Structure 1
């Protein structure tokens, strides 16, 4: 495909957006190298990959692609004997771990419709042992750990000991020779510990001068007493570097041994990251997967240009390749004609690159071998070419390659020259391109081309709508309706004298005026047809929903009826079997009675009666579940009533009625919602009789110093507690004991929460060993 089209249609901007969606440099590299494919099978495969990745994002919200690096340069160095740095080794381990995480993520997904992704990650090699060795030697910050080898641990221990001894020696100087030092600190020069000594005391501290300050007033001297210690320290550091180098060399060799598996893993991770980058871009654009074909069919609904802001873009429908293969768009400037050309061209490039397009579901696009465009003013001052000449040069080049698998976009065809010659040339060029079977969209100002489609098979007119009331374009594309000049209507709305407008109309030819009237009529008919279509579509949608609802309800009714039939048959069979058994037992008894010497009359009568009663009662016998039972489903329940929850066979207390046929019931520590038919009434709530806790004696109150709440229900316990505290305060008690027991702790928590919020209770505590322990709470009163 020609490279110029990528620039004209701004394809690179889409690629830049795609690369920003990649999670790793591997995915970015693939995105930046993306080019449209011209093979239908390859394009369909790419679209399936993107759609599968989009399903994963929709279902899971994310995919674990973090910690993946482009380790190909590092692998290449190991193959030629290079030694990797700790950070490079850590990147290898991180990439191995990232691949294993991705593989586990895909394998754990319950959705089976992920064949492409499952096949890809199946090839990832886990490499547990290599990752374990790298992680055992290098920490998360890229440093070689002491535990990488026993020798390294010993060397570093020696380094820390030597450093400690050097610092101890040096600090004796900082304490005793303070006046000789520029600053009482120990510093480092040339990897050796030194002291900042004033110039005049140079001879007072013997040692080696390693550096001096910019002014020369301070010398950095290594005292003679620490030279040997510093030498030992330097030797240990050299040994450390050698051991680290040996460890990294060993790790690099092990990485080199697994280079084929690592290259394979990196390829899979790059492919998966690229898949999900395409899916993320589609989600950001609110795009859908197009259906691809190689017959040049295009059918897109509510298409939005991906490079125009969502709040500004106007969706449009474009269709071609079935009833017609070419569209000629006419209309005013700045009406959206050029945007329509670029929209279709860019959609084609995106779809052939495996990207989803921002349009409604079910859109269809063709796969073309070439996409050509002649858009914009491309006159060249350097080449001394006019606008017309530059257009013609480009069109000549296009005509050399046009065939039946080509999409051609012409903007202002034939512009830049004499209108009559330009219009004739435009029609001739369109005839040539259409005759070769190409798919063509062309825009023009020439009125002669408005009637072009009426004389050509496979060509249709289109226009961009213009609102006469607001004097602004609506940017809506109207296929089948040519554009018309709105000069007279616009002039009238802007205040031009009516007589001038009428004179101008007389100057216009009868044919032109007829064409304008025809176009106006077509526009009105198109708008009415669109409104009728929208109304019919809404009605059809509502009817389909109603039809599906009725079908669902009918199936449910049939299923329920079938279940009832089966249940009734089973019950009847059971009843008949029971009757048969009873009859056989009666016959057996009769035979025994017959064998006796004498059969009494009343025995015969009783046996006959038992035989008559053995017949099954099916239709006449009502289901026992439908019989009203005392206290079950008949009596209205109230808060506080004691009931039996039949589904659990447990007793409880009604808390409240949540709706007309549902109650909330307290069963032990649980609160359960139950239907009325599931509850059996036991007894009504007993009216609470307040027991006097305090009695008046003379001018004072008499009340116990403790309150026993054990066995009381939650609400009743709080009521008694509140009344008791009031009485205790009136009795002027300094403290009282509340006995609540241990149990589940709910009553104890309630008492303590009440104490926290009561202004007259200064504090509370659990009872002591001789006061009842945690089963008692002692309250201190004001």
Structure 2
């Protein structure tokens, strides 16, 4: 792939969009070296990696990687047996920790049954050194500081240093807080030459023995080390020297430990960087709303709603672009600033992105080819000055392209033949297109020449295209129209801008009838195409709406089927219960008849058996019970209207329907509370049942005003300790609802002390609940600030 095309199509700018998503130096280095591949297998492999990254981003929010710096130089120094410093060892430790964590992450994916295509094989190459990693973690802090646990000797030395410093501070405090404090410039202890000293006023020098280490700029203060502190300072200084020597020994030992594994560690850093690069590709795909492209073995390109990745998504115009199959050359004509050049760049840049293993900013099921090279001659041809040097520059580019192009190449030419006499330019452009067609390359060009419109119509494997132009507003829409050549709109634009009619009429007289007819024909085609597109968009909108309504109807049908089956089963059980009762009654009657027979009255046995059989026939399992009163009664229980009295089965409470919320939910008033409840949890109460309940409640006036049939055990205490914050807040809300419904007051919320998060969340919820009258901490012997008492 030639480097010039990367710059021309701004491929490096796309690569730079990956960098903000990356956390490793090795990953950024790999990204900056990214180039499109010309090998179909490698392109497919790269896209599989990106697909794995996109799957992990969707399922696990990506591969968890820490920030990793470049460890190339420290590893090179290990090769010559150098001693690394603490910071360098901390950086290498981070790579080893990340390697172990990444392997564990992918092992967990395997246990969860999440299968990936490519990345697990790469992760298997990571080398973990558990023993050495543990030693490094124990010895070196992430900031490079050597821990006390790095060696027993270092631990002992630092304990001695702490003890000595405490002794020095104790001795110094006798000066700063004792009788001699009045001789000090400032009653503080400071450091000079790594030794603890006192700031003494110079005129009181003789009040202190010891060593003078420094004096102030004015000479009024001397920094003196008292004589009785000298020995302690000497011991501290000796300990500090021993500490430095032991730290050097520890660093050398740790460096020797990892030296045999320097190649494995370097390879680990590269693999982790590659995983970081895959993460970044997946995140960029989400940002660009990009999709996985399919690969065509014969270089057919079919981009659905392709968008230029470097243009603001709110402003970019998407286009369908097809190349290959029925035609291998596209001739795009149309006015300036209509979007021709951007269309060329969009096609070329998306092709480069796909061959580099990136998802492309186009709709799903888009197809790219794998070209051995992409060539482009794209320049700003919007200037009014077209001179020979410009034409020569374009021809130099075209000459280089013709010398390198093959039948597996993609060629993009902007304003082919421009910069010279229009007749000669058009003739040269057609000859160049014929040459490229003979070679078999895929070609897209833009031009203003009307001769090329005829060329696009007459040549096989060639199709005309244009950028749509609104004849009513005389403004471009930036939509690509395949199969329709561009219309010349110069005279129309001049007329709209106010050029006098006599000039316009004379200009039109200079144009041949054939040209005018062609322009009118193209204009009609463009209008018809735009109307067809608008109609298609309208039909697509209607289709989407109908599909949504169909899905809603399907859901309603499923719920209806579920409810119908439940109602049928309930009705069947009720009918069977009634039949069983009838059978018992029939048996009683038969028994009575037999008693009558024993008293002298003759009753035939076959009559009794027939009666018994008819009664047994009433016990049926047929689910289709038509005109069944029990079934009708059950259906009426679920025919809801605003104001109906209902039983809320999940709470065992009676309420009234206030308003419908959504397809299958109702707002229900239960006493002073209002809740949104699914209608499957509701059952209508008949007037007769309501009166019976009211009568029963009247007899129980001494009890609660709202009769509660508890469906769960409700206590006056809720224990939230050990719960996650979200779970605890949900349980708290449910507990307060049940406490209100059961007239429990006060109640106790046990949230513990801990970090204080549950306590703060509990009290914030209670403060915002209008039914809470007050709340405060429990008594010291009942939990103190680890529990809250709530009054309603």
**TM-score of the aligned structures, taking structure 2 as reference length:** 0.73
In structure 1, the gaps of 5 or more residues are 565-600, 693-708, 717-741, 767-776
Verify: 1:481 aligned to 2:478, yes or no: no
Q: Secondary structure at the match of 2:280?
A: helix
Cα distance in 2 for partners of 1:259, 1:764 equals 59
Residue deviations 1:278-333 (CA, integer Å, cap 9, x gap): 01011111111111224221111211111111222111121111111111112222
Q: CA 1:126–1:452 in 2, change beyond 3 Å: closer, same or farther?
A: same
Alpha-carbon distance, 1:264 to partner: 4.5
The range that moved more, 357-366 or 86-95, is 86-95
Cα distance in 1 for partners of 2:648, 2:67 equals 60
Alpha-carbon distance, 1:688 to partner: 5.7
Q: What residue number does 1:13 align with?
A: 13
Verify: 1:470 aligned to 2:467, yes or no: no
Q: CA 1:630–1:9 in 2, change beyond 3 Å: closer, same or farther?
A: closer
Is contact 1:65-1:98 (8 Å) kept?
yes
Cα distance in 2 for partners of 1:478, 1:621 equals 69
Verify: 1:268 aligned to 2:247, yes or no: no
Residue deviations 1:628-660 (CA, integer Å, cap 9, x gap): 399988899999999998xx9xx9553446899
Cα distance in 2 for partners of 1:519, 1:778 equals 80
Cα distance in 2 for partners of 1:640, 1:455 equals 76
Q: What residue number does 1:386 align with?
A: 389
The range that moved more, 615-624 or 140-149, is 615-624
Q: CA 1:490–1:620 in 2, change beyond 3 Å: closer, same or farther?
A: same
How do 1:667-678 and structure 2 match up within 5 A? Answer: 674=681, 676=683
Instruction: Choose which of 263, 283, 286 in structure 2 pairs with 1:283.
Output: 286
Is contact 2:200-2:221 (8 Å) kept?
yes
Is contact 1:93-1:130 (8 Å) kept?
no
Q: What residue number does 1:506 align with?
A: 509
Instruction: Choose which of 295, 306, 310 in structure 2 pairs with 1:307.
Output: 310
Is contact 1:341-1:441 (8 Å) kept?
yes
The range that moved more, 186-195 or 115-124, is 115-124
Q: What residue number does 1:251 align with?
A: 254
Cα distance in 2 for partners of 1:559, 1:655 equals 25
Alpha-carbon distance, 1:215 to partner: 4.9
The range that moved more, 285-294 or 126-135, is 126-135
Q: What residue number does 1:686 align with?
A: 695
Is contact 1:644-1:681 (8 Å) kept?
no
Cα distance in 1 for partners of 2:436, 2:778 equals 97
Cα distance in 2 for partners of 1:778, 1:58 equals 45
Residue deviations 1:564-623 (CA, integer Å, cap 9, x gap): 9xxxxxxxxxxxxxxxxxxxxxxxxxxxxxxxxxxxx99997699669968996797366
Cα distance in 1 for partners of 2:119, 2:615 equals 63
How do 1:646-657 and structure 2 match up within 5 A? Answer: 654-656=654-656
Q: What residue number does 1:186 align with?
A: 189
Q: Secondary structure at the match of 1:319?
A: strand
How do 1:100-249 and structure 2 match up within 5 A? Answer: 100-109=100-109, 110=112, 112-125=114-127, 127-139=129-141, 141-174=143-176, 175-177=178-180, 181-198=184-201, 205-215=208-218, 218-249=221-252
Q: Secondary structure at the match of 1:55?
A: helix
Instruction: Choose which of 509, 512, 515 in structure 1 pairs with 2:518.
Output: 515
Is contact 2:647-2:685 (8 Å) kept?
no
Alpha-carbon distance, 1:522 to partner: 2.8
Q: CA 1:20–1:618 in 2, change beyond 3 Å: closer, same or farther?
A: farther
Cα distance in 2 for partners of 1:41, 1:483 equals 39
Is contact 1:75-1:255 (8 Å) kept?
no
Alpha-carbon distance, 1:408 to partner: 1.0
Q: What residue number does 1:578 align with?
A: none
Bigger Cα Rg: 1
Q: What residue number does 1:495 align with?
A: 498
Instruction: Choose which of 390, 398, 410 in structure 2 pairs with 1:407.
Output: 410
Cα distance in 1 for partners of 2:648, 2:28 equals 67
Q: Secondary structure at the match of 2:320?
A: strand
Cα distance in 2 for partners of 1:280, 1:252 equals 37
Q: CA 1:750–1:35 in 2, change beyond 3 Å: closer, same or farther?
A: closer
Cα distance in 2 for partners of 1:126, 1:434 equals 56
Q: Secondary structure at the match of 1:193?
A: strand
How many residues of Structure 1 are paired with residues of Structure 2 in the alignment?
683
Cα distance in 2 for partners of 1:407, 1:640 equals 72
Alpha-carbon distance, 1:365 to partner: 1.1
- CA RMSD after TM alignment: 5.2
How do 1:54-93 and structure 2 match up within 5 A? Answer: 54-93=54-93
Is contact 1:632-1:681 (8 Å) kept?
no
Alpha-carbon distance, 1:116 to partner: 2.5
Q: CA 1:531–1:653 in 2, change beyond 3 Å: closer, same or farther?
A: closer
Q: CA 1:612–1:113 in 2, change beyond 3 Å: closer, same or farther?
A: farther
Alpha-carbon distance, 1:419 to partner: 2.0
Is contact 1:26-1:270 (8 Å) kept?
yes
Q: Secondary structure at the match of 2:502?
A: helix
Residue deviations 1:50-85 (CA, integer Å, cap 9, x gap): 123222323344442235454444444444433333
Is contact 1:301-1:316 (8 Å) kept?
yes
Residue deviations 1:167-201 (CA, integer Å, cap 9, x gap): 34444455555565544433222212233445566
Cα distance in 2 for partners of 1:557, 1:361 equals 36
Cα distance in 1 for partners of 2:544, 2:647 equals 50
Is contact 1:640-1:654 (8 Å) kept?
no
Q: What residue number does 1:747 align with?
A: 744
How do 1:351-500 and structure 2 match up within 5 A? Answer: 351-376=354-379, 386-500=389-503
Is contact 1:632-1:676 (8 Å) kept?
no
Q: What residue number does 2:52 align with?
A: 52
Alpha-carbon distance, 1:350 to partner: 0.6
Q: CA 1:461–1:378 in 2, change beyond 3 Å: closer, same or farther?
A: closer
Alpha-carbon distance, 1:489 to partner: 1.0
Cα distance in 1 for partners of 2:644, 2:778 equals 32
Is contact 2:653-2:707 (8 Å) kept?
no
Q: Secondary structure at the match of 1:5?
A: helix
Is contact 1:639-1:657 (8 Å) kept?
yes
Q: CA 1:263–1:613 in 2, change beyond 3 Å: closer, same or farther?
A: farther
Is contact 1:639-1:685 (8 Å) kept?
no
Cα distance in 1 for partners of 2:54, 2:778 equals 60
Cα distance in 2 for partners of 1:616, 1:119 equals 74
The range that moved more, 2-11 or 440-449, is 440-449
Alpha-carbon distance, 1:8 to partner: 0.9
The range that moved more, 98-107 or 408-417, is 98-107
Q: Secondary structure at the match of 1:475?
A: strand
How do 1:519-668 and structure 2 match up within 5 A? Answer: 519-531=522-534, 533-534=536-537, 621=620, 628=630, 654-656=654-656
Residue deviations 1:430-465 (CA, integer Å, cap 9, x gap): 211121111111112222222111221111122222
